[in-house]
Amino acid sequence: MPKYLIETHGLTRRFGKQLAVDDVSLVVPEAGVYGFLGPNGAGKTTAIRMLLGLCRPNAGEVHLFGLPLAANRLSLLRRVGALVESPSLYPHLTGRENLEVTRRVLGAQRELIDTALRSTKLTQDANRRVREYSLGMRQRLGLALALLTKPELLILDEPTNGLDPAGIHEMRDMIRSLPAEFGVTVFLSSHLLSEVEQIASHIGIIHEGRLLFQGTLSELQADQQVQLTLGVNEADQAMDTLTAAGWSVQRRADGLLSVSAKTSDEAVRINKLLVEQGIEVFHLSLVRASLEDIFLTLTGERRAA
């Protein structure tokens, strides 16, 4: 079994002069949910289209299940289910007939339709025409289409787009349950940080076509600086001491000091140093940057660069 289900090397795609995806090297491990996070227009959909062979990269290559996609497109896509942007459905056909169209193309077993309908809670509405479906039902039917042949890898592009809060909640629960229920690895793109935070075990952050971070959520947070808030009786002396020791210190409007540290262990060293200098410490707290802060910092830095 390959180490990664998706592996891209220097994936690049331009449209005219615009660089939509720039040297992106993804590694998506087996099992769990990989959240591909980025603001609208970051290059997520273009990258996904290249993962599915819908468009060709100008440079770089895609490997799925350890094999190059370009040379093994059909055999690899047999192991992949996908929902790209909005679900592609035939409104004049029923939900079951929509699944039947894809089943016929794939030459799959008829029983798989019932399983897919059950998994997406559409059994009751299977014989209604899709034009009568709500947006949430359409999205679930799109998921059923992607799940039809029990794929090993599921690629979902913004699956909660356009849904109301209840629909988002329902879809999110469904996606979260997929790895355990079907043993499928989910690659999910989203511009919603909260969504990825709740579902994903691994994330990749893309902005303006470039991959800014890739790893687990804890790795992302561990990678970030910790903010220490200090309350001391001698603020000026404390600032001098800490600055001389190499820390970056700022005085806040409320009189407390804010110190940037790389790890939480540094809090112990800071406290010890101040006490040794005869400075009384009456407040010490650690603030870890939220995922939102990290995301905004990363994308903001990129923009500034």
Partner 1 sequence: MSLLLVLHAELLKLKRTLAFRVIFVAPLLVAVLQFFVLLKTRQFSTDFKLWETVSRATLSIWAIFMMPLLITLETALINGIEHSDKHWKHIFALPVRRHMVYIAKIIVVQALIATSTLILCLLSILVGLVSMRLRPELANAGPVPFGWISKQALLVWLAAWLIIVIHTWISIRWSSFTVALGAGIGGTFFALFAASASLGKYYPWLLPLNVFTDERLVAALVLGAVGGVVAAVAGCVELARRDVA
Residue closest to 161 by CA, chosen among 181, 185, 188, 180: 188
Of 162 and 300, which CB lies nearer to partner 1 in the complex structure?
162
Extended beta strands in 110-218, E state: 153-157, 185-190, 202-207, 210-216
Of 74 and 305, which CB lies nearer to partner 1 in the complex structure?
74
Extended beta strands in the chain, E state: 4-15, 18-24, 27-29, 33-37, 59-64, 67-68, 80-83, 153-157, 185-190, 202-207, 210-216, 226-232, 248-251, 257-261, 281-288
For 255-305, the three-class secondary structure string (H helix, E strand, C coil) is CCEEEEECCCCHHHHHHHHHHHCCCCEEEEEEEECCHHHHHHHHHHHHHHC
CB of 56 to partner 1, least distance (A): 7
User: How many residues make up the chain in this entry?
Assistant: 305
Residue closest to 184 by CA, chosen among 56, 5, 2: 5
Of 84 and 174, which CB lies nearer to partner 1 in the complex structure?
84
CB of 81 to partner 1, least distance (A): 9
Distance between start and end Cα atoms, the chain: 40
Of 151 and 247, which CB lies nearer to partner 1 in the complex structure?
151
How many CB atoms are closer than 10 A to CB 213? 16
Positions in the binding site for partner 1 (CB under 8 A): 49, 52-56, 73-78, 80, 82, 84-93, 97, 100-102, 104-107, 145
CB of 113 to partner 1, least distance (A): 13
Of 89 and 257, which CB lies nearer to partner 1 in the complex structure?
89
Residue closest to 260 by CA, chosen among 216, 227, 224, 298: 227
Of 142 and 294, which CB lies nearer to partner 1 in the complex structure?
142
Of 1 and 105, which CB lies nearer to partner 1 in the complex structure?
105
CB of 7 to partner 1, least distance (A): 19
CB of 82 to partner 1, least distance (A): 5
Q: Which residue has the tokens 């998506």?
A: 28
CB of 53 to partner 1, least distance (A): 7
CB of 74 to partner 1, least distance (A): 5
48, 155 contact by CB (below 8 A): yes
